[in-house]
Amino acid sequence: MPDEVSRTFCEARMGSTKRRIVGQPGQSAFCYEVTPMGAKFATPSPQPNESHVPDKSRIAKTWQQYYDDRGHGLWGFSPSPTARTLAEALLNGNRRRSERVEIVDWGCGYGRDSLYFVELGFDVIGIDVSTKAIALARAAYKQRQKSGVPLVGSASFHAGNMRSVFRSRAGQKVCAFFSNRVLHLLSETDFRQATREAIRNLDQDAYFCVSARSPDDFNPAVMEWMPGKEAKLAKYKDSARDGHEIAFVTKERLLGAVGHNLRDTSFLSTTEPERVGSQDTHLLVMLGRT
């Protein structure tokens, strides 16, 4: 496993547990904006032109291939700006000293953010549709356990869908739902179902922190709009990237999906390279509480 890149460490105390923060949470140039809460959950219903949107099996196949080809080299092990945002919120929140904090990392990939949370002392449930990603995440976690650096938190990684993982836990709720760069991959129906399912399984006063590619990310040099879905759904011009459509995520879409079920909702704009060494993508991050 490659070493994490350019880490700065600082110590933070949360009750009796001494936590090590990798990097300074929130150090990226975010723009914060507090937004009023939106409408209540709308019932997900099939959308017109849904056939344009990649289905789950195509998404899984695309990602399986990326992980087969590049493994841990896709993004390295630096935590994402979205993970730093959630970490900062959790560490600054008024949680009890001894309380275990369980985070679901949905679409965890090979676990770069999950492992960051574990290092901070949180317990992570990583879920991804790609079996290869989950195998890589488990291997990276094992390696980290063997490294000799004591880990305060713990992790378990599951290949499959969110609902089956929650069902297997017999009604236990979690303190945070986290997802970095997954929601733009989904159809509108799946997007709404996923956000609903997530919120349904959050404890009281829990955090909801997600990011996805925003419309600022549309690059006409390499992308084109899907006919009839202009300004919403794009695909890459390069046929080698077929099956990797982008359903850009806006504040309105997020608020329409989570509605009044969250409070203290804020949005941040940030950027992150699409892969190690490639150009930045523009992300919209949403943070809220139940």
Ligand X SMILES: C[S@@+](CC[C@H](N)C(=O)[O-])C[C@H]1O[C@@H](n2cnc3c(N)ncnc32)[C@H](O)[C@@H]1O
* Residues forming the site for ligand X (CB under 6 A): 56, 59, 63, 75, 80, 106-109, 112-113, 127-130, 133, 161, 180-182, 185
Q: How far is the CB of 268 from ligand X (least distance, A)?
A: 16
Q: How far apart are CA 133 and CA 5, in angstroms?
A: 20
Give all strands (DSSP E) within the chain, no chain letters.
Answer: 9-14, 17-22, 31-34, 102-106, 123-128, 155-159, 174-180, 202-213, 223-225, 233-236, 246-247, 263-273, 280-289
Q: How far is the CB of 272 from ligand X (least distance, A)?
A: 8
For ligand X, the closer CB: 14 or 233: 233
Q: Are strands 174-180 and 202-213 parallel, antiparallel or unpaired?
A: parallel
For ligand X, the closer CB: 80 or 290: 80
For ligand X, the closer CB: 154 or 161: 161
Q: How far is the CB of 114 from ligand X (least distance, A)?
A: 9
For ligand X, the closer CB: 15 or 273: 273
| Size of the chain, expressed as the number of residues it contains | 290
Question: Which tokens sit at 224?
Answer: 């084109």
For ligand X, the closer CB: 108 or 268: 108
Q: How far is the CB of 59 from ligand X (least distance, A)?
A: 5
Q: Assign 32 to helix, strand or coil.
A: strand
For ligand X, the closer CB: 38 or 187: 187
3-state SS of 126-169 is EEECCHHHHHHHHHHHHHHHHCCCCCCCCEEEEECCHHHHHHCC
For ligand X, the closer CB: 144 or 181: 181
Q: How far is the CB of 234 from ligand X (least distance, A)?
A: 15
> What are the beta bridge partners of residue 12?
19
Question: What is the sign, positive or negative, of the torsion defined by CA atoms of 2, 128, 214, 231?
Answer: positive
Q: How far is the CB of 71 from ligand X (least distance, A)?
A: 12
For residues 219 and 287, is the Cβ–Cβ distance under 8 A? no
Q: How far is the CB of 11 from ligand X (least distance, A)?
A: 25
Cβ neighbourhood burial of 204 (10 Å; 0-12, 13-18, 19+): exposed
For ligand X, the closer CB: 19 or 132: 132
For residue 159, count other CB atoms closer than 10 A to its CB: 18
Q: How far is the CB of 181 from ligand X (least distance, A)?
A: 4
Instruction: Of 77, 74, 78, 109, give the one whose Cα is nearest residue 275.
Output: 74
